[in-house]
Amino acid sequence: MSSWASQLKNAQGRLGPDVKCGLNGTSVLLGNYEKCREVLGYCTSGTVTMTSKRISKDEEAEKFYAVKKFRRRAQESAQKYQKRLTSEFCISSCLLHPNVVHTLDLLQDKNDNYCEVMEFCAGGDLYTLVLRAGKLETAEPDCYFKQLMRGVEYLHEMGVAHHDLKPQDWCF
């Protein structure tokens, strides 16, 4: 366990300026990011939407993000909800690998729902990619599988186990 903790601390030192490690309690989602542009998907724990943020006030250029809005579980106290999301965020925001979606921020919306801001993958998720392609040539599934395994290997090296892997979770 101490090895895992030291790896996370080392990773935190390499994080870029956009990345926060911990709850940004003074921020409100709509104060930092534009309104939701479209719903990207639904999962058992919440809804994922696409949003944007202006790169600078002078320019029209925008950067896109995926925002996962978490639902509070039935019978879950506010304290347990906050602890669950803060713990998940602290782990996920410190993971840096090309085959793992990077988590950038944790905010609360105007209804006190926690929202996790992640990098936006313009290529979509693996499930949609495979459905759209229909039949894949031999090299394509091999390439996708290799990327997936590199991401899982990194998670395991960092002491993280995912409990519900599915094609909808893997972005390209």
- What whole-number distance in Å separates Cα of residue 144 and Cα of residue 110? 38
Rounded to the nearest 5 degrees, what angle is found at the Cα of 114, between the Cα atoms of 44 and 125?
45
Sign of CA dihedral 151, 152, 153, 158: positive
Output the pLDDT for position 53. 81
The domain over range 2-121 is classified in CATH as 3.30.200.20: yes
d(CA 50, CA 107): 15
Report pLDDT for 8: 41
Rg of the chain taking only CA atoms, in angstroms: 17
Q: How many C-beta neighbours within 10 Å does residue 26 have?
A: 8
Query: pTM for the complete prediction?
Result: 0.72
Dist CA 100 CA 72 (whole Å): 25
Identify the pLDDT of residue 171.
66
Q: What is the dihedral of CA 64, 117, 73, 94, to 10 degrees?
A: 140
Q: What is the pLDDT of residues 24-67, one digit of tens each?
A: 433 445 556 666 778 888 877 788 888 888 777 766 778 889 99
| pLDDT tens for the chain, residues 1 to 172 | 444 445 444 444 443 444 343 444 334 455 566 667 788 888 777 888 888 887 777 667 788 899 988 888 889 999 999 999 899 899 999 999 999 989 999 988 888 889 999 999 888 888 888 888 888 888 988 998 899 899 999 999 999 987 777 777 666 5
Mention every residue, 6+ apart, whose C-beta is less than 8 A from residue 79: none
Q: Please spell the DSSP secondary structure of 69-126, one letter per residue.
A: EEPPPTT--HHHHHHHHHHHHHHHTT---TTSPPEEEEEE-TTS-EEEEEE--TT-BH
Candidate list 18, 109, 125, 164, residue with the active-site label? 164
State yes or no: is 112 an active-site residue: no
8 Å CB contact between 121 and 151:
no
